Structure 1
Protein backbone atom coordinates (compact mmCIF):
# COMPACT_ATOMS: atom_id res chain seq x y z
CA UNK A 1 0.00 0.00 0.00
CA UNK A 2 1.32 3.40 -0.97
CA UNK A 3 1.05 6.23 1.51
CA UNK A 4 3.17 8.70 3.33
CA UNK A 5 4.58 8.89 6.81
CA UNK A 6 3.04 11.17 9.39
CA UNK A 7 2.87 11.37 13.15
CA UNK A 8 -0.36 10.25 14.83
CA UNK A 9 -1.26 12.70 17.60
CA UNK A 10 -3.20 11.78 20.75
CA UNK A 11 -4.53 13.53 23.86
CA UNK A 12 -3.17 16.96 24.64
CA UNK A 13 -0.66 16.65 21.78
CA UNK A 14 -3.59 16.23 19.35
CA UNK A 15 -5.37 19.25 20.83
CA UNK A 16 -2.24 21.42 20.47
CA UNK A 17 -1.77 20.27 16.86
CA UNK A 18 -5.44 20.95 16.08
CA UNK A 19 -5.23 24.42 17.60
CA UNK A 20 -2.03 25.22 15.68
CA UNK A 21 -3.58 23.97 12.42
CA UNK A 22 -6.78 25.99 12.89
CA UNK A 23 -4.92 29.16 13.84
CA UNK A 24 -2.52 28.58 10.92
CA UNK A 25 -5.58 28.67 8.67
CA UNK A 26 -6.42 32.13 10.06
CA UNK A 27 -9.24 30.93 12.32
CA UNK A 28 -9.67 31.43 16.07
CA UNK A 29 -9.46 28.58 18.57
CA UNK A 30 -12.45 29.56 20.70
CA UNK A 31 -13.61 27.84 23.87
CA UNK A 32 -16.58 26.30 22.01
CA UNK A 33 -14.40 25.05 19.15
CA UNK A 34 -11.94 23.58 21.66
CA UNK A 35 -14.76 21.84 23.54
CA UNK A 36 -16.31 20.42 20.37
CA UNK A 37 -12.91 19.15 19.21
CA UNK A 38 -12.24 17.61 22.65
CA UNK A 39 -15.59 15.81 22.58
CA UNK A 40 -15.14 14.65 18.97
CA UNK A 41 -11.71 13.25 19.82
CA UNK A 42 -13.19 11.10 22.63
CA UNK A 43 -15.41 9.08 20.29
CA UNK A 44 -13.96 5.75 19.20
CA UNK A 45 -16.39 5.57 16.28
CA UNK A 46 -17.70 8.27 13.93
CA UNK A 47 -20.01 10.66 15.77
CA UNK A 48 -22.95 12.63 14.45
CA UNK A 49 -23.44 16.31 15.22
CA UNK A 50 -26.30 15.21 17.51
CA UNK A 51 -23.99 12.85 19.44
CA UNK A 52 -21.45 15.63 19.83
CA UNK A 53 -24.07 18.24 20.79
CA UNK A 54 -25.38 15.93 23.51
CA UNK A 55 -21.91 15.42 25.05
CA UNK A 56 -21.04 19.12 24.77
CA UNK A 57 -24.36 20.01 26.41
CA UNK A 58 -23.58 17.63 29.29
CA UNK A 59 -20.15 19.19 29.81
CA UNK A 60 -21.45 22.76 29.64
CA UNK A 61 -24.54 22.11 31.71
CA UNK A 62 -26.74 23.76 29.12
CA UNK A 63 -28.11 22.74 25.73
CA UNK A 64 -26.01 23.23 22.62
CA UNK A 65 -27.92 23.06 19.34
CA UNK A 66 -26.75 20.53 16.74
CA UNK A 67 -26.81 23.22 14.03
CA UNK A 68 -24.13 25.13 15.98
CA UNK A 69 -22.08 21.93 16.12
CA UNK A 70 -22.56 21.36 12.37
CA UNK A 71 -21.11 24.80 11.58
CA UNK A 72 -18.02 24.09 13.64
CA UNK A 73 -17.67 20.57 12.21
CA UNK A 74 -17.83 22.04 8.69
CA UNK A 75 -14.97 24.37 9.66
CA UNK A 76 -13.04 21.42 11.11
CA UNK A 77 -13.44 19.44 7.88
CA UNK A 78 -12.43 22.48 5.82
CA UNK A 79 -9.28 22.97 7.92
CA UNK A 80 -8.44 19.24 8.19
CA UNK A 81 -9.14 18.87 11.93
CA UNK A 82 -11.90 16.36 11.24
CA UNK A 83 -12.99 14.03 8.47
CA UNK A 84 -16.55 13.34 7.45
CA UNK A 85 -17.68 9.78 6.91
CA UNK A 86 -20.22 10.62 4.21
CA UNK A 87 -22.29 7.43 4.26
CA UNK A 88 -22.81 7.72 8.02
CA UNK A 89 -23.22 11.52 8.14
CA UNK A 90 -20.71 11.37 10.98
CA UNK A 91 -17.30 12.74 11.85
CA UNK A 92 -13.96 11.57 13.21
CA UNK A 93 -11.15 13.68 14.60
CA UNK A 94 -8.13 13.73 12.32
CA UNK A 95 -5.20 12.39 14.33
CA UNK A 96 -2.74 14.20 12.06
CA UNK A 97 -4.38 17.54 11.20
CA UNK A 98 -1.20 19.07 9.78
CA UNK A 99 -1.06 16.41 7.06
CA UNK A 100 -3.39 17.09 4.13
CA UNK A 101 -4.43 14.12 2.00
CA UNK A 102 -7.45 12.26 0.72
CA UNK A 103 -8.67 9.56 3.06
CA UNK A 104 -10.02 6.10 2.57
CA UNK A 105 -12.44 4.76 5.18
CA UNK A 106 -13.12 1.08 5.75
CA UNK A 107 -16.46 0.86 7.56
CA UNK A 108 -17.64 -2.26 9.37
CA UNK A 109 -21.37 -2.68 8.79
CA UNK A 110 -21.61 -4.96 11.86
CA UNK A 111 -19.94 -2.99 14.66
CA UNK A 112 -19.63 0.47 13.09
CA UNK A 113 -15.86 0.63 13.52
CA UNK A 114 -14.16 2.87 10.96
CA UNK A 115 -10.54 2.47 9.94
CA UNK A 116 -8.84 5.39 8.24
CA UNK A 117 -6.25 4.46 5.63
CA UNK A 118 -3.95 6.69 3.60
CA UNK A 119 -3.15 5.54 0.08
CA UNK A 120 -2.01 8.46 -2.03
CA UNK A 121 -1.61 6.32 -5.16
CA UNK A 122 -5.27 5.26 -5.06
CA UNK A 123 -6.55 8.73 -4.14
CA UNK A 124 -4.42 10.34 -6.86
CA UNK A 125 -5.83 7.81 -9.32
CA UNK A 126 -9.37 8.89 -8.42
CA UNK A 127 -8.41 12.56 -8.85
CA UNK A 128 -6.65 11.83 -12.17
CA UNK A 129 -9.68 9.90 -13.47
CA UNK A 130 -12.00 12.77 -12.56
CA UNK A 131 -9.68 15.33 -14.19
CA UNK A 132 -9.39 13.23 -17.35
CA UNK A 133 -13.20 13.34 -17.60
CA UNK A 134 -13.21 17.15 -17.40
CA UNK A 135 -14.26 17.18 -13.75
CA UNK A 136 -12.45 19.25 -11.13
CA UNK A 137 -12.20 17.13 -7.98
CA UNK A 138 -12.26 18.98 -4.68
CA UNK A 139 -12.57 16.31 -2.03
CA UNK A 140 -12.66 12.68 -3.13
CA UNK A 141 -14.49 10.42 -0.72
CA UNK A 142 -13.54 6.76 -0.72
CA UNK A 143 -15.49 4.50 1.61
CA UNK A 144 -15.43 0.72 1.65
CA UNK A 145 -18.25 -1.05 3.51
CA UNK A 146 -17.89 -4.60 4.77
CA UNK A 147 -16.88 -6.46 7.92
CA UNK A 148 -13.83 -5.88 10.05
CA UNK A 149 -11.60 -8.74 11.15
CA UNK A 150 -13.23 -8.82 14.59
CA UNK A 151 -16.74 -9.26 13.12
CA UNK A 152 -15.88 -11.54 10.21
Structure 2
Protein backbone atom coordinates (compact mmCIF):
# COMPACT_ATOMS: atom_id res chain seq x y z
CA UNK A 1 0.00 0.00 0.00
CA UNK A 2 1.12 3.56 -0.53
CA UNK A 3 2.67 5.39 2.36
CA UNK A 4 1.52 8.48 4.22
CA UNK A 5 4.13 10.73 5.77
CA UNK A 6 3.70 13.93 7.80
CA UNK A 7 6.68 16.22 7.38
CA UNK A 8 7.80 19.65 8.56
CA UNK A 9 6.33 21.97 11.14
CA UNK A 10 2.79 22.34 9.81
CA UNK A 11 1.91 18.73 9.21
CA UNK A 12 -1.25 16.86 10.15
CA UNK A 13 -1.17 13.98 12.58
CA UNK A 14 -3.18 11.00 11.37
CA UNK A 15 -3.55 7.45 12.44
CA UNK A 16 -3.46 5.49 9.21
CA UNK A 17 -6.41 3.13 8.87
CA UNK A 18 -6.14 -0.12 6.93
CA UNK A 19 -8.06 -3.29 6.12
CA UNK A 20 -11.70 -3.60 7.13
CA UNK A 21 -11.44 -0.49 9.30
CA UNK A 22 -10.53 1.58 6.25
CA UNK A 23 -13.41 0.12 4.24
CA UNK A 24 -15.82 0.82 7.13
CA UNK A 25 -14.56 4.41 7.41
CA UNK A 26 -14.95 4.92 3.65
CA UNK A 27 -18.49 3.50 3.74
CA UNK A 28 -19.41 5.88 6.57
CA UNK A 29 -18.01 8.92 4.74
CA UNK A 30 -19.82 8.04 1.51
CA UNK A 31 -23.18 7.34 3.15
CA UNK A 32 -22.88 10.50 5.26
CA UNK A 33 -22.45 12.37 1.96
CA UNK A 34 -25.84 10.97 0.89
CA UNK A 35 -24.42 8.39 -1.52
CA UNK A 36 -25.03 4.64 -1.59
CA UNK A 37 -22.30 2.14 -0.74
CA UNK A 38 -22.87 -0.49 -3.43
CA UNK A 39 -21.01 -3.77 -3.93
CA UNK A 40 -19.30 -2.29 -6.99
CA UNK A 41 -18.18 0.81 -5.08
CA UNK A 42 -16.93 -1.40 -2.25
CA UNK A 43 -14.96 -3.53 -4.74
CA UNK A 44 -13.42 -0.44 -6.38
CA UNK A 45 -12.44 0.97 -3.00
CA UNK A 46 -10.91 -2.33 -1.87
CA UNK A 47 -8.93 -2.54 -5.12
CA UNK A 48 -7.51 0.95 -4.49
CA UNK A 49 -6.88 0.29 -0.80
CA UNK A 50 -4.87 -2.86 -1.50
CA UNK A 51 -2.92 -1.55 -4.50
CA UNK A 52 0.87 -1.43 -4.10
CA UNK A 53 1.03 1.76 -6.17
CA UNK A 54 -1.43 4.23 -7.67
CA UNK A 55 -3.93 2.40 -9.88
CA UNK A 56 -5.58 3.57 -13.09
CA UNK A 57 -9.25 2.98 -13.82
CA UNK A 58 -8.13 0.35 -16.32
CA UNK A 59 -6.04 -1.42 -13.65
CA UNK A 60 -9.05 -1.48 -11.32
CA UNK A 61 -11.44 -2.60 -14.10
CA UNK A 62 -9.10 -5.46 -15.01
CA UNK A 63 -8.80 -6.56 -11.37
CA UNK A 64 -12.57 -6.40 -10.84
CA UNK A 65 -13.24 -8.25 -14.11
CA UNK A 66 -11.07 -11.12 -12.85
CA UNK A 67 -12.71 -10.99 -9.40
CA UNK A 68 -16.28 -10.93 -10.71
CA UNK A 69 -15.75 -13.31 -13.65
CA UNK A 70 -17.25 -10.82 -16.10
CA UNK A 71 -16.02 -7.71 -17.85
CA UNK A 72 -16.16 -4.49 -15.83
CA UNK A 73 -16.00 -1.37 -18.01
CA UNK A 74 -13.33 1.21 -17.24
CA UNK A 75 -15.98 3.94 -17.74
CA UNK A 76 -17.95 2.56 -14.79
CA UNK A 77 -14.80 2.55 -12.68
CA UNK A 78 -13.98 6.15 -13.74
CA UNK A 79 -17.40 7.33 -12.53
CA UNK A 80 -16.86 5.67 -9.16
CA UNK A 81 -13.31 7.05 -8.87
CA UNK A 82 -14.60 10.56 -9.64
CA UNK A 83 -17.17 10.14 -6.87
CA UNK A 84 -14.45 8.93 -4.50
CA UNK A 85 -12.28 11.97 -5.28
CA UNK A 86 -15.26 14.33 -4.75
CA UNK A 87 -16.07 12.71 -1.39
CA UNK A 88 -12.42 12.51 -0.30
CA UNK A 89 -12.18 8.72 -0.36
CA UNK A 90 -9.44 8.78 -3.00
CA UNK A 91 -6.78 11.09 -4.34
CA UNK A 92 -5.89 11.43 -8.01
CA UNK A 93 -2.28 11.49 -9.15
CA UNK A 94 -2.69 13.79 -12.13
CA UNK A 95 0.62 13.07 -13.84
CA UNK A 96 -0.04 9.32 -13.86
CA UNK A 97 -3.85 9.43 -14.33
CA UNK A 98 -4.00 7.07 -11.36
CA UNK A 99 -5.68 6.96 -7.98
CA UNK A 100 -4.85 6.18 -4.35
CA UNK A 101 -7.27 5.35 -1.56
CA UNK A 102 -7.30 8.06 1.09
CA UNK A 103 -6.10 6.25 4.22
CA UNK A 104 -7.78 8.83 6.43
CA UNK A 105 -11.19 9.36 4.81
CA UNK A 106 -13.19 12.25 6.11
CA UNK A 107 -10.09 14.38 6.65
CA UNK A 108 -9.84 16.97 3.91
CA UNK A 109 -6.45 18.49 3.43
CA UNK A 110 -4.03 19.39 0.70
CA UNK A 111 -2.00 16.76 -1.08
CA UNK A 112 1.70 16.53 -1.75
CA UNK A 113 2.72 13.34 -3.56
CA UNK A 114 6.24 12.02 -4.05
CA UNK A 115 6.13 9.64 -7.02
CA UNK A 116 8.89 7.24 -8.05
CA UNK A 117 9.61 7.40 -11.78
CA UNK A 118 10.93 3.83 -11.78
CA UNK A 119 8.55 1.69 -9.67
CA UNK A 120 5.52 4.00 -9.54
CA UNK A 121 5.27 4.02 -5.74
CA UNK A 122 3.61 7.14 -4.35
CA UNK A 123 4.10 8.63 -0.91
CA UNK A 124 1.60 11.15 0.42
CA UNK A 125 3.05 13.99 2.49
CA UNK A 126 1.28 16.73 4.46
CA UNK A 127 2.91 20.13 4.88
CA UNK A 128 0.40 22.86 5.70
CA UNK A 129 3.09 25.55 5.47
CA UNK A 130 3.83 24.79 1.84
CA UNK A 131 0.27 24.15 0.71
CA UNK A 132 -1.03 27.09 2.76
CA UNK A 133 1.26 29.41 0.79
CA UNK A 134 -0.07 27.92 -2.46
CA UNK A 135 -3.68 28.30 -1.31
CA UNK A 136 -3.03 31.92 -0.32
CA UNK A 137 -1.46 32.66 -3.73
CA UNK A 138 -4.52 31.19 -5.46
CA UNK A 139 -6.89 33.21 -3.29
CA UNK A 140 -4.92 36.39 -3.94
CA UNK A 141 -5.30 35.71 -7.65
CA UNK A 142 -9.08 35.61 -7.16
CA UNK A 143 -9.69 31.86 -6.93
CA UNK A 144 -12.09 30.40 -4.37
CA UNK A 145 -12.05 26.91 -2.82
CA UNK A 146 -8.38 26.42 -3.72
CA UNK A 147 -7.17 22.86 -3.05
CA UNK A 148 -3.46 22.45 -3.75
CA UNK A 149 -2.27 19.16 -5.21
CA UNK A 150 1.51 19.00 -5.60
CA UNK A 151 3.35 16.18 -7.34
CA UNK A 152 7.09 15.68 -7.05
CA UNK A 153 8.73 13.03 -9.22
CA UNK A 154 12.04 11.31 -8.63
CA UNK A 155 13.40 7.99 -7.41
CA UNK A 156 12.40 6.34 -4.13
CA UNK A 157 15.16 5.06 -1.84
CA UNK A 158 14.82 1.48 -3.12
CA UNK A 159 15.11 2.50 -6.78
CA UNK A 160 17.87 5.07 -6.24
CA UNK A 161 20.45 2.42 -5.27
Question: Structure 1 length as normaliser, TM-score?
Answer: 0.96
99, 112, 120: which one pairs with 2:107?
99
Cα distance in structure 2, aligned partners of 1:18 and 1:138: 24
Q: Which residue does the alignment assign to 2:61?
A: 53
Q: Which residue does the alignment assign to 1:124?
A: 132
CA displacement, residues 66-96 of structure 1 (integer Å, 9 cap, x when unaligned) = 0000000000000011000000000011100
The answer as to 2:77 corresponding to 1:69 is yes
Q: Is the 8 A contact 1:104 1:117 kept in 2?
A: yes
Q: Which residue does the alignment assign to 1:29?
A: 37
Q: Which residue does the alignment assign to 1:147?
A: 155
Structure 1, unpaired ranges of 5+: none
User: Following superposition, which runs of at least 4 residues in structure 1 exceed 4 angstroms of deviation?
Assistant: none
- 1:139 deviation in Å? 2.9
- 1:123 deviation in Å? 1.1
- 1:137 deviation in Å? 4.6
RMSD (Å), alpha carbons: 1.0
Cα distance in structure 1, aligned partners of 2:23 and 2:144: 33
Range with greater deviation from structure 2 (12-21 or 114-123)? 114-123
* Greater RCO, CA 8 A, separation 6+: 2
Q: Which residue does the alignment assign to 2:18?
A: 10
Q: Is the 8 A contact 1:130 1:137 kept in 2?
A: no
Cα distance in structure 2, aligned partners of 1:60 and 1:150: 34
Q: Is the 8 A contact 1:6 1:99 kept in 2?
A: no
Range with greater deviation from structure 2 (63-72 or 36-45)? 36-45
Cα distance in structure 2, aligned partners of 1:111 and 1:53: 21
Residues paired across the two proteins, number:
152
Q: SS in structure 1 opposite 2:131?
A: helix
